Chain A
């Protein structure tokens, strides 16, 4: 893992990069009776290895997937820590959660720009009155912004503070756990699934047709946490039940994802248009971007209309029973 860190600017090479870094959390090693803090440390350790494995590709800017995978590993780390709060030393978990949030936030500007650039071919197809070529200044603007964001991220990843997060600190979770070590991985996993499930149901039920979009955004984040809770210790649960529960959840996540992506993109296209107008962009580019916003608004409205059905499906008795079987109620 340290070998990969040596790719960061300002870091002396410590060892040759590991050609086959451990990507998957060592889930097989975790048993039902494993002490909870140890199980969390093992899982998080796997995520940290995954983050490190993606950094060289991210720095060399080979493919946007490196950043995406890196971000997923950061999010999983944060969600695991958050859901495991009751089973870990509060001060330790608070510190590493905050550091994880910082490291995740640093990557957001670049990822947002990647999403726009990757979506451009599709967006060109949306245009009705404008010509696809009208979006060329928009693409040039995005590429300039992306180059800046990439440089900023590489520098931020090279700092001592960022590197500290990437060296394996998970032993601290075990060392500071004290009495909490008596709780088992099975109890932890079920507790996490139950809590995450309850939160999704509570938040989703409160969403009405006129609720502000922030509610759906928060629900999307809670759904991701439930997803990560289900995937955290797959070895401890019945794979068929887990697979079906994930499939149920995925449908709801897709709907929320469509809604939120359209929201973020509309806002971003408007901001980019303002920036480009200040830099005397041609009117044809701004008009074409106006069309994109209209299309995104329609998409968002459609996702919003689908939400009621998607949520109703998620809370139907068979889906609820499956998640309860995986949570604490299943252990009784």
Chain B
């Protein structure tokens, strides 16, 4: 039996507010995270993701507080990413009410961090987030929200991170992010081929018809931000469109 495809709204948060920009630039205020989380929960979201887009040591307490207030009201899984640099950061987020943590740049800088987190909390808490773009005919991993390239091939990084203990992959296409032109289907299917863990597709959703192709390309879950925040689409719209395409969703 097949699991229903999860629909996950992502809230990019900064200083306790939701923000969204195009290609990670020009951030705009898009609302109150707790209020939006409750709305998505009521619409049938399968999980929630918070991404702290400018996490620094100074403003972490704002994020912990936000996570706690959300987890008190919304009884679905909550993943929190952004600024996670140590296993102790993970312990604090889980303690605040997060179920999973997203790990990105810090894992690229020090891959052993993946092993440390998986050994202490289990692979199932660790969502490895990759910001991927095309470069020189292949997919490479970028850092700093897509602004800086690395020499690391995305597929090599996926294989290594799963071996080290990543429990899930959040694959964000920098090329597609914010364009609303649809998910990067080549990227999703390339990652699916080498991944033994669930794959969450992210970046590029613009209409209800964009989601089913991502699932056919191999996504176990689909993630989007701005189309939900601006009220263009509801979670229900996306699920109905997928169901009409023969894809199993949780009603």
The finding on whether chains A and B are genuine partners in a shared complex, rather than unrelated, reads no
Q: Chain A: residues with CB nearer than 8 A to chain B? A: none
